[in-house]
Copies of this chain bind each other. A is one copy, B any other.
Amino acid sequence: MDSDRPRRPTLDTVASAVGVSRATVSNAYNRPDQLSASLRTRILETARSLGYAGPDPVARSLATRRNAAVGLMLPQGLSVAFTDPSLSIVLDGLASTVDGHDHCLVLMPGNDTGGPRPETVSRAQADVVVAYSLPDSAPALSAVSARGLPLVVIDQPVISGTARVEVDDSGGARLAASHLLALGHSRFGILTFALHPDGYRGPVSCSRRASIPFRVSRDRLTGYLDALENGGVAAENVPVWEASGSGRELGREGARWMLTRTPRPSALLCASDQLAFGALQAARDLGLSVPGDVSVVGFDDVPEASVSDPPLTTVRQPLAEKGRLAGQLALKLLAGARPPRATRLDVSLISRASCAPSK
């Protein structure tokens, strides 16, 4: 307020105000043991009175070559992403791990191409990146490796040199399908979320079932179909509906289609709990009883599954754990560790009231 410009104070400002070297002021903030306690308080007080808010994070990052930030790449825009409770839970595990270690989370929302733009990636101030369920060979992935940043992938296929945490999706799907087979069902319908990053929603043709870039969708779908084949149900006879996302309304739409077909399926396999909740609603809309007229299985076991009407039979995966683990891996890579072999988390079938024996 007195000099030429209201330039923000820097380390130098403080240093010369106190009459010490810049290094000492830096130490006051970063290595309290390197100077006497009295000098330190003097420095900190002067800093406060000058309106110096501590070392500039960017300059610090440049000097230390560390950002204290982990980037998160999402397959879609944020609203789509956050409407999905299973993602929220994973994210929360990730964020709290990362925040607990004084690291920030930098969001890189995806767009239509199934992931963040490469430029977004190359401008992001992060020193490790977590990719959540991107389609195979998303451009964002190569952008990360071009920058030489360590990468943790969640729910993705193998990319060499990266850490990975995943879940046994096809095993879980088989669990679900086998459960329904054991209950005597023989007319099935499958509700899945996006198989391709093109926004399509509707019945799934054969050609569309080939070369699915989203690993999770692919594994769950093939898990269902494999188990059904083993149970004597031919894949051709199983209608599949692809929703463009995992929203409840999308599930409702798909289930409506499914439940108004002839013959009507007696059991619905849903690739997520959200889709299953939508299916529950669709059944209600049509005056069908669950599980009286139709059985429904979900996937994820989000908290609401235990209190829905009826409570949902579903495949549990440890969502929070997944996020936490990804966060820990990211921090380890940051500390210089080599990427460990993939961690695979277990799934299990949680049987509730949305399934009943076939009549």
Contacts and interface: CB of A to CB of B under 8 A. Distances in A.
A54 B62 CA distance: 16
State the main secondary structure of chain A at its contact with B. helix
Interface string A108-147: 1101000000011011110000000000000000010011
Contact of A107 (B88, B95, B304, B309): B95
Given A105-B107, A107-B105, A120-B99, A79 B89 contact: yes
Nearest to A146: B53
A123 B336 contact: no
A80 B91 CA distance: 11
A26 interface: no
Contact of A104 (B106, B111, B143, B309): B106
Given A1-B336, A95-B109, A122 B78 contact: no
B125 A303 contact: no
15 contacts: A1-B336, A53-B122, A54-B122, A57-B123, A67-B125, A79-B88, A82-B82, A82-B85, A83-B88, A95-B107, A95-B109, A96-B109, A107-B107, A249-B304, A252-B307
6 closest pairs, A vs B, by CB? A79-B92, A82-B88, A82-B82, A53-B146, A78-B92, A78-B95
Given A96-B109, A99-B109, 20 more contacts: A1-B336, A53-B147, A53-B148, A58-B61, A61-B125, A78-B88, A79-B89, A82-B85, A82-B87, A95-B107, A102-B123, A104-B124, A105-B107, A105-B109, A106-B107, A249-B304, A249-B307, A252-B307, A281-B307, A281-B309
Interface of A: 1-2, 8, 51, 53-54, 57-59, 61-62, 67-69, 77-80, 82-83, 85, 87-89, 91-92, 95-96, 99, 102, 104-109, 111, 119-120, 122-125, 143, 146-148, 248-249, 252, 281, 284, 303-304, 307, 309, 336-338
